[in-house]
Structure 1
Amino acid sequence: MKPLDDGTFSIASIPFQTYGLALGDRVRLSANVQVSGVMGSSSHRVLRMLLVPAPDPKQLTESIDRIRTGIDAAGLLSVWNGDRHVAVDIPPGTHPSTLFDIMQREVSEGRAFWEWADAMPFSAHR
């Protein structure tokens, strides 16, 4: 979190497992320093993908390599949690169609699941 002049904070990293938050969003914190509300949207989106464990480790490695290459080629920021779960920051006005094609291939072939983090609004009470 990055403190702002008005007592709110800016999300300074890609939110990995929270719905309704994205990099750069302006938020309010509670007394116990947890996000309690979204005060302003940065218009960034978070695309999350979970790769399915593969019986052949080489297949998983190839999937990871394709996704990393697609993220790098699109010039996007990402965060990995282990070797199978990635969150990608999609800034406003960005249309990384090549990355989407790579990810859709993984999903179509049963090797992954994906979701938009803004599929549900933020709630401090989930």
Structure 2
Amino acid sequence: MRVVVHEDPVGRAETNWIARIALEPFGFEGLWEQVWLRRTGDDLAMMCCIPLRAYGVARGDVVRLSADGSTVTEVVERSGRRVLRALLTDQRDEDVAEIAAEVTAIGARTGVPLEWSEVRLVAIDVSPEVDTAGVLGYLAGLAEAGRLEWEWGEAGPFVA
């Protein structure tokens, strides 16, 4: 079993539980995503990280856990947040590092939460409470230049 981990989850201070999401239903055979949660009931928890690979779930969503608490089985309540993922496609590592630093800096300046996976993939927490125009505008320019590919996290439904 291979696991995608959150090196620096945005809601780490809010968490008290780690579970996983099977990524096979989303086309990633043999891969799981470890997610950070805050337990809110016997079998319920709130997502405290930005999903890096799973579809149909976002930070702040309330999810149901399996009987042993190890696996997310369904989304029970939506938070109103969205996830935008961008994959940096530049070939030169120096260019990727420069873009990653700029995206991180814009996020920090504007208060937009984001998480990185394997240097080239960023997941951005898009919520009604935070102005995401700066970071999304920067990414849109890179997409137009062919330097990244992007998708919304709700491009597909959550499937356990």
Q: TM-score band (shorter)?
A: 0.7 to 0.9
Structure 2 CA distance for aligned equivalents of residues 85 and 6 of structure 1: 33
Provide structure 2 residue ranges, at least 5 long, that are not aligned to the other structure.
1-36
Q: Secondary structure at the match of 2:104?
A: helix
Aligned-residue CA RMSD (Å): 1.6
Structure with the greater relative contact order (CA < 8 A, sep ≥ 6): 1 or 2? 1
Find out whether 1:45 has 2:102 as its counterpart. no
Find out whether 1:70 has 2:106 as its counterpart. yes
Residues 63, 106 of structure 1: 8 Å contact kept: no
Find out whether 1:90 has 2:120 as its counterpart. no
Provide structure 1 residue ranges, at least 5 long, that are not aligned to the other structure.
none
Structure 1 CA distance for aligned equivalents of residues 75 and 141 of structure 2: 34
Q: Return the structure number with greater strand share.
A: 2
Per the normalisation by structure 2, the TM-score is: 0.70
Residues 20, 121 of structure 1: 8 Å contact kept: yes
Structure 2 CA distance for aligned equivalents of residues 75 and 67 of structure 1: 12
Structure 1 CA distance for aligned equivalents of residues 93 and 65 of structure 2: 42
Aligned-residue identity in percent: 32
